[in-house]
Amino acid sequence: MQVFLASRNAKKLAEMQRILGEHAPDVVVVGLDDVPAYDEPVEDQATFEGNALLKAQAGLAATGLPTLADDSGLCVDALNGMPGVLSARWAGPPKSDDRNNALLLSQLEDVPDERRGAHFVCAVAFCHPHGTELVVHGRMDGRVIRETRGAGGFGYDVLFVAAEHDAEGFTTAELDSVEKDRISHRGRALREIGPLVAASLRESS
């Protein structure tokens, strides 16, 4: 049985395959490069949940396969939760991690360290041809530092220190992939939805 993950990110696909495989060993996760091209929806919803559902519903309509999709972003306390759903487009088109990070640093330049709290959020949606729709959320708390550090990850990882690593000050871009998956918003959401997806697939088989 195939499950479609509306993503081209090889790491996301491999992670979902591992997690689903623990609960449904015969399931194969396929991505956007494995299905005929279709018009992907504009992520114009006001919430992470809304965007994730939009992408999952579009994937189901295009492929007919049980579909997973996610939306995630960084919410900064001192910016009233922004950039939030605009995280990937914070500095305007074209999308650029470097410009997004530079803009965030400039916006927080005068914010003292004790007020630089932030958290990442991930919403993962699942839509099944039989009508099932599920959404789960994952969260990773931490803070934004004053300079970029690390070569791993992507997006705002180079500026974010997770609460679990606050003592040593490692950014999520300085963590290995196993540790990042363990504490990340996306990893937590995928681990929560994995058994729910497997149960839904068993019920419909």
DSSP 24-85: -TT-EEE-GGGS----PPP---SSHHHHHHHHHHHHHHHH-S-EEEEEEEEEEGGGTT-BGG
* Annotated catalytic residue within 39, 70, 71, 141: 71
**DSSP for residue 152:** S
Q: Confirm or deny that 72 is annotated as ligand binding.
A: yes
pLDDT lower than 50: segments of the chain: none
CA atoms within 13 A on the CB side of 114: 0
3-state secondary structure of 130: coil
Q: What is the predicted pLDDT for the residue at 1? A: 86
Q: Confirm or deny that 7 is annotated as ligand binding.
A: yes
Q: Confirm or deny that 10 is annotated as ligand binding.
A: yes
Task: Determine whether 71 is an active site residue.
Answer: yes
3-state secondary structure of 7: coil
Structure confidence by residue, pLDDT tens digits, 4-24:
999 988 878 888 888 888 888
- Total-model pTM: 0.91
Fold of 2-204: Maf protein (3.90.950)
- Read off φ and ψ for residue 179, nearest 5 degrees: -70, -40
Q: Confirm or deny that 39 is annotated as ligand binding.
A: no
